[in-house]
A and B are shown apart, each in its own frame.
Chain A
Amino acid sequence: MSEVLLEVRDLVVHFPTPDGVVKAVDGVSFTIERGRTLGVVGESGSGKSITFLTVMGLINRKSARVSGEVLFEGRNLLEATTEELRHIRGDRIGMIFQDPMTSMHPMYRVGDQISEAILAHRNVGKREAGARAVEALRQVGIPAPEQRARQYPHEYSGGMRQRAMIAMALVLDPDLLIADEPTTALDVTVQAQILEVIDELKQRLNIGVALISHSLATVADVSQDVMVMYAGRPVERGTRGEVFDAPLHPYTLGLLSSVPRVDVRVERLVPIEGSPPSLINVPPGCAFHPRCPYRFDPCDRDVPDLRDRGGGHDDACHLSAEAKAANRRERLDMQEPVT
C-alpha cells in the first residue's frame, strides 16, 4: 500500500498587481507518494515553481491570494502558523534550487551552513551538529568531507555545491525533497551526477521527491509520476510510462515532437506555434487553445478539467480519446528517425 506524503488539492495562487491579477497557479491538484518521484514539467510561467514555493510557505502571503489545500502529515499547511511552517521546512520537507552558485551564503563555511539547519530543529550541541554535517556531505559523495566542511562555497565547484545543497536539505531525514530545476545551471556531465545522487538517496532514504524541470527528458529519466503544467494549470498527469509512451494532451505532444534528441535524428522538428500567454490575460477556455493545431468548437469557451477522459490517465483536453490517439500516431510517424 503506497503512502501519500503530500496531497495538494485545487491550489490557487493569485498575485494582484496594478496591471491586473497574475494567475500564477490556477487550480493544481496532485499527490506525492513515499519512494516515488513526481516530475513536474513546464515552461517559465507555468506555475510549477510557485506551486512548490507555496507548499513550503516561501511566497509572500501578504501579496498573494491563496486558496485550496496543501495536506502534509494530516495537516493543511495553508492554515499552519508561521512557526508551524518553520518546523516543517528543512525538517520534514527539504528543498534545493536551480543555481547552486547563489543558493549558499557566500560568507559562511559550508559545514556551518548545514549545522545551522540541524541546530534550528534539533536540540543538539554545535559539535554534534558539525559531525552530522560532515556525515551528510559524505552521504552525497563529497570527497574529504572533513576538510570540505570547513571551506566556503566559492571553494566548491558547481556540482559540489549542488551536492552540498542536497546534503543540507536531507540532513534531518525529511520525508519529502523538493528539487526546483536542480540541474539547469550545471554542465551536462555534472547534471548526470546530481540526478544520480538524488535518485540514489530517494531509494536509500525511502523519501518522496518532487523534481521540477523545464526539460521533459530530465523528468522522464528519473521520475515515476509526471505532471505537465501550462499557464498555471496541469494539463496532463500520469505515470512516466503513461505520459511519455501515450501522451494525450496536444501540449505534451507538442513538447515531445519539438525537442531534438541525441539518440535519433528527426527530419523535421514540429514547433509549437506562438508563445506562452501572459498570466494576467490567460486565454479563455483552454489556455493552450490559441497555440493548439487541433482546437475546435468548445476550446475557447470551456475550461477542460483534468480527469481520465478515456485515454488511460488524466488529461485536460476536449478532444476525444480516438482523436488524441490519431494525433499521437501522426506525430510519432513524423518522429521516425531518418536513415
Chain B
Amino acid sequence: MSTDTRGGAAEPLVAVQDLVKRFPITRGIILQRQIGAVHAVEDLTLHIARGETLGLVGESGCGKSTTARLMARLVEPTAGSIRFDGEDITHLSGRAMQHVRRKVQIVFQDPYASLNPRQSVGQIIGAPLRIHGIEGDRRRQVQDLMEQTGLNPEHYNRYPHEFSGGQRQRIGIARALALRPSLIVCDEPVSALDVSIQAQIVSLLTDLQKEHDLTYLFISHDLGVVRHVSDRVAVMYLGRLVELADRDALYERPRHPYTAALISAVPQGTGANRRRIVLQGDVPSPANPPSGCPFHPRCPKARIISGDPAVVPENCATEMPSLTAVAPGHTAACWYPLVPGDDLIAAAEGMAPEVVEQAEEAATA
C-alpha cells in the first residue's frame, strides 16, 4: 500500500466536513408526519489521502454503510460537505455528478444481489463503459479487466449464476475498475464470502491498489481484515466517529474505551482462558441514541472514573465529547481517554445489574 502522499501537504483525495445524515421516520400514508429520525451519521469529519486505505469499522447501526453511500454520493447528506479531488460534490447533480461518478466506484457486500442475473458478465462489466460513452474495443477492454481481476476472459458470455461467490465478487470489482476510478468504496466486500475465499479477494484488492494507484475506503465489521488492509483506521459508534489513528497505533494502543472493547471482543484463537472486555448490553438504536457520549451506558471507563459501577461522570451522560488529538495523528472522542493501567476487564465485569438493564433498555427502545 503506497503511503507516498500520506501526511504530506498534498491535498487529500476526499475531505468530509461535519457530515450529517438523518433518515426521517414518518407515520401515516397520505399525510406523512415526521415522528423522529434515524441518526445514521452525525458530525463526521475525516479525510482520505491519495493512495491510502482508510479502514472504517463498527457494529450494526454505527453508520458505516451510510458513510459508504454518502462518499459515493448515492445519498445526499442532510448537512455538512464532501470535497472530492478539491471539488465540492455535496450537492452536485446531473452532468457534473456524472463526471464525479466515474472517479468514485463502490464494491458491495453481496455479490449475489448486486449483479443483474439476466446480463452476461461481459455486459455487466462493460455497462459503465457504455453508460459513460467510453470509446474503443469494448470486448477487449472488458476481457482485460477480467484478466486483471483473476477471471477467465473466455467466460465473457457467461451469466452470474454460473460463477461461485468469490468469482462474482471479482466481477463486481472488475465493474468498479472499468472507469479507472481514483476512489473505490469497499462496503463489506468479503463479509458474504466463505472464509477460504475472503483472503483471495483481500489480496486481489491490495494488488489492484498497487497497480492502479487506488485509494480505498474499506468498510467492514471484521477487525482482522481491516487491520490487514488499512493504513489508518476509523472507528464509528452510533453514527459518530469515536477514534481515528494509524493502524498499528489503533490496534495496539487504543485510547477510546469502545475501540479497546471492540478489539478485545474479537475471538483470537489464543485459547479459552484469555480474558476479554465483555461489554454489557446491546448497541442502542440509532433512532434513539443515548444523551451525551453515545457509549456512556455501556462504558467501563466511565465507571472507573466515577468509582461506582452504577454511576457515570456527569459530562459523559450530558455532553458529547469532541474528537481531540491524543497523540500525533491519533484522535479520540472521549472525556477520559484510556491511560496505561486502566483495568477495563474488571470494570466491565463489575457493572451493576441496573446499569446493564439501562443499557438493554436503550438498545431496545
Q: A-side interface residues toward B, CB under 8 Å? A: 43-44, 141, 143-144, 155-160, 187-193, 195-196, 199, 214-224, 240, 244, 254-255, 258-263, 265-266, 268-273, 275-276, 291
Would you call A144 and B357 a contact (CB within 8 A)?
Answer: yes
Chain B residues positioned under 8 Å from A224 (CB to CB)? 272
Determine the distance from Cα of A260 to Cα of B60 in the docked complex, in whole angstroms: 21
* A266–B213 alpha-carbon span in the complex (Å): 22
* A159–B282 CA distance with the chains assembled, in angstroms: 6
Residues B353 and A143 in contact, CB atoms below 8 Å apart: yes
Chain B residues 229-277 with CB under 8 Å of chain A are 247-248, 251, 261-272, 274, 276-277
Q: Which of A141, A143, A188, A275 contacts B266 (CB 8 A)?
A: A188
- B residues 326-365 in Cβ contact with A at 8 Å: 353-354, 356-357, 360, 363-364
Q: Which of A196, A218, A262 contacts B227 (CB 8 A)?
A: A262
A-B pairs with beta carbons under 8 A, tally: 160
Report 29 cross-chain contacts, Cβ distance below 8 Å, ordered by A residue. Answer: A141-B356, A156-B364, A158-B60, A159-B282, A188-B221, A189-B262, A189-B265, A189-B283, A189-B298, A190-B283, A191-B267, A192-B277, A192-B279, A199-B272, A214-B195, A216-B195, A216-B269, A217-B266, A219-B269, A255-B196, A259-B195, A260-B225, A269-B202, A271-B197, A271-B202, A272-B197, A275-B164, A275-B165, A276-B196
In the complex, the 8 A-B pairs of residues with the closest C-beta atoms, listed nearest first: A220-B269, A157-B282, A258-B199, A271-B199, A260-B228, A143-B357, A187-B59, A192-B265
Known: A189-B265, A224-B272. 17 other contacts (CB 8 A): A143-B353, A143-B354, A158-B60, A160-B363, A160-B364, A193-B278, A195-B267, A220-B267, A220-B269, A254-B196, A255-B196, A260-B222, A265-B247, A265-B248, A269-B202, A269-B228, A271-B199
Categorize the interface residue count of chain B: 35 or more
Within the complex, the shortest CB–CB distance from B64 to chain A, in Å, comes to: 12
**B residues neighboring A (CB under 8 Å):** 59-60, 164-167, 194-200, 202-203, 221-225, 227-228, 247-248, 251, 261-272, 274, 276-283, 298, 353-354, 356-357, 360, 363-364
* A43 & B283 in contact (Cβ 8 Å cutoff): no
The distance in angstroms between the C-alpha atoms of A58 and B197, with both chains bound, is 30
Are B195 and A258 neighbours in the complex by a CB distance under 8 Å?
yes
Shortest CB-to-CB span from A243 to chain B, Å, is 10
Which residues of the other chain, B, contact A199 by a CB distance below 8 angstroms? 272
Q: Are A220 and B271 in contact (CB under 8 A)?
A: yes
**In the bound complex, how far is the Cα of B221 from the Cα of A160, in angstroms?**
20
With a CB–CB cut-off of 8 A, which chain B residues contact A141?
356
Closest to B190 in A: A260
Residue in B221, B224, B248, B360 whose beta carbon sits within 8 Å of that of A143 in the complex: B360
Find out whether the CB atom of A262 lies under 8 angstroms from the CB atom of B199: no
Contact A258 B266, beta carbon cutoff 8 Å: no
A46 closest partner in B (C-beta)? B194
Assembled-state Cα–Cα distance A12/B135 (Å): 57
Contact of B360 among A160, A219, A222, A265 (CB under 8 A): A160
Chain A's closest residue to B263 (CB) is A262
Q: Which of B194, B221, B353, B354 contacts A43 (CB 8 A)?
A: B194
**Closest residue of A by beta carbon distance from B229:** A260
Knowing A193-B280, A260-B228, the reply to whether A217 touches B196 (Cβ < 8 A) is: no
A188-B225 contact given A44-B194, A259-B198, A262-B268, CB 8 Å threshold: no
Residue of A187, A266, A268 touching B60 (CB-CB under 8 A): A187
Residue among A155, A260, A262, A269 facing the most chain B CB atoms (10 A cut-off): A262
Q: Is the CB of A240 within 8 A of B272?
A: yes
Contact B357 A217 (CB under 8 A): no
A155, A258, A261: which contacts B196 (Cβ < 8 A)? A258
Residues from chain A with Cβ under 8 Å of B165 in the complex: 275
